[in-house]
Structure 1
Amino acid sequence: MNNNCGNCCNNCRGQLCASKVPIFENLNNEELLEVVKTINHKEYSKGDVIFTEGNVANTLYFVNEGNIKLYKYTKDGKEQILHVLTEGEFFGELDLIKPSKYGFNSKAIVNSKICTLTKDEMKDIIMRKPEIGIKVLETMGERVAKVENLVQNLATNDVDSRLAYLLIDLMEKYGELIEKNISIKLPLSREDMASFIGVTRETISRKLKKFEYEKLIKIIGTKNLIILDEEGLKDYI
């Protein structure tokens, strides 16, 4: 589904979708309206591929609803997740100077609504508001640093440490304080968690049970988890 957006639309639940995106946070309402007028919308079902590595990079994507994973394949064909994105985050960073290709794959983890801007549309916005370009570069830099940390984590740390790193990352991004503990509605399946830290699904399940036995976490079904001892998890990292 692909709809052009006027002032607001059903896809945005009556909101200006651009207002959800931190790189546009300093725009006033009139400027937001101008951005929104150029935005298109697409809906993806769980498991739909948005683009693959090597595709021409001519579109910037913003997550309006849902969760998107960015990933590559290792030399032996295994999926390695790089990032998991949620509402307000963007992906498909463009080289605005020269033609480029996407260096990773993207897929909807759940049913998702995505807003898009073409390379030319984004270039026009940045020409009018250079600070947006700076924020895009800052976000790209943060992601590069995060991937470097992930690579180092996979190469040098044991499974317990890698899982603790992932849980802390998910806690910081998706955690919600309930009473004295932090509850996480997990955006990742056990398979995706395994892909993220380079182990099997069985290993993830076994290590989660170990952390639960140590009273670091409490597992609630397959999609919810409570952090009982944040400092204890950090001791593994």
Structure 2
Amino acid sequence: MSLTLHEPRPLVTALFESLDPMAADELAAEFETVTAGRRTVLFREGEAGDSLYVLLSGKVKLSRRSSDGREGLLALIGPGEPFGEVELLDGGPRTATATAVADARLARLSKTALYRWMARHPEVAEQLLRAVARRIRGNRATVHDRLFSDVPGRVAGQLIQLAHQFGVAEDGATRVVHDLTQTELAQFVGASRESVNKVLAQYASRGWVRLENKCIVILDDAPLALRAQHKRRR
């Protein structure tokens, strides 16, 4: 599958909220918008990083492969979130593979344009560093959970996180369309598909969630939040 290019369009993102309106409009013109069909690879781990992206709609997963070929899902990017910025700061290769898991629209800014704007507007660099710091903090939290949490706790925590990102209120419940396969959802938790499916079935039997295709409806978030906080409790 290939990317489809479109004309630049106005972009609003926390990365550039410090700019005055005129400068923000000028910067928006530097972006190109692209559409990517489901399963389109935007960039691969190990490639040179030549641009950053801001997701406008859809979902993108960031993943890495271990030395034995297993894939781990690092993050699920939602609308308004930037990604691919780390490599523009340190000059290294891509640290992850970015793949659209649902039809996506994105804004892309080249490294050359970004550096030109950071030289003229130091506040852009400051906002970019903050975005990188938030991502590092989130990655550390993920590593901590995978080291010290049991699978039910990790599942509960990921459901709460996905609800914050993608949840939509629906008749007293929260519908979370994650667009992940069962395997990808298990990779996100950092456990086997069988163990994650078993936990989800348990949560469904307790009336906490309802399972649908690439979607989870959270019926009662209180016990999930409690289970996520007390990860070692059986």
What TM-score do you get using the length of structure 2 for normalisation? 0.87
Q: 1:195 and 1:41 mapped to 2: Cα distance?
A: 29
Paired residues for 1:96-107 under 5 Å = 99-107=91-99
Q: Once the 2 structures are TM-superposed, how far is the Cα of residue 99 of structure 1 from its aligned partner?
A: 3.0
Q: 1:157 and 1:34 mapped to 2: Cα distance?
A: 46
**Structure 2: runs of 5 or more not aligned:** 229-234
Q: 2:141 and 2:170 mapped to 1: Cα distance?
A: 29
Match of 2:226? 235
Aligned residue pair count: 225
Match of 2:153? 161
Match of 2:232? none
Say whether residues 1:147 and 2:139 are aligned partners.
yes
Matched letter for residue 195 of structure 1: Q
What secondary structure is seen at the aligned counterpart in 2 of 1:236?
A: helix
Match of 1:126 among 110, 115, 118: 118
Q: Name segments (4+ residues, structure 1) moved above 4 Å.
A: 94-98
Q: 2:40 and 2:168 mapped to 1: Cα distance?
A: 28
Q: 1:180 and 1:102 mapped to 2: Cα distance?
A: 41
Q: Once the 2 structures are TM-superposed, how far is the Cα of residue 31 of structure 1 from its aligned partner?
A: 2.2
Match of 1:39? 31
Matched letter for residue 173 of structure 2: N
Structure 1 residues 235, 94: CA separation in 2 closer, same or farther (over 3 Å shift)?
A: closer
What TM-score do you get using the length of structure 1 for normalisation? 0.86
Q: Once the 2 structures are TM-superposed, how far is the Cα of residue 128 of structure 1 from its aligned partner?
A: 2.7
Q: 2:199 and 2:125 mapped to 1: Cα distance?
A: 42
Match of 2:44? 52
Aligned 8 A contact 2:15 2:128 in 1: yes
Structure 1 residues 98, 180: CA separation in 2 closer, same or farther (over 3 Å shift)?
A: closer
Say whether residues 1:190 and 2:182 are aligned partners.
yes
Say whether residues 1:200 and 2:203 are aligned partners.
no
Match of 1:113? 105
Match of 1:75? 67
What secondary structure is seen at the aligned counterpart in 2 of 1:88?
A: coil
Q: 2:187 and 2:135 mapped to 1: Cα distance?
A: 18
Q: Once the 2 structures are TM-superposed, how far is the Cα of residue 94 of structure 1 from its aligned partner?
A: 4.2
Q: Once the 2 structures are TM-superposed, how far is the Cα of residue 27 of structure 1 from its aligned partner?
A: 3.4
Q: Once the 2 structures are TM-superposed, how far is the Cα of residue 52 of structure 1 from its aligned partner?
A: 1.1
**Structure 1: runs of 5 or more not aligned:** 9-15
Question: Which moved further from structure 2: 195-204 or 115-124?
Answer: 195-204
Q: 1:232 and 1:199 mapped to 2: Cα distance?
A: 21
Structure 1 residues 225, 118: CA separation in 2 closer, same or farther (over 3 Å shift)?
A: same
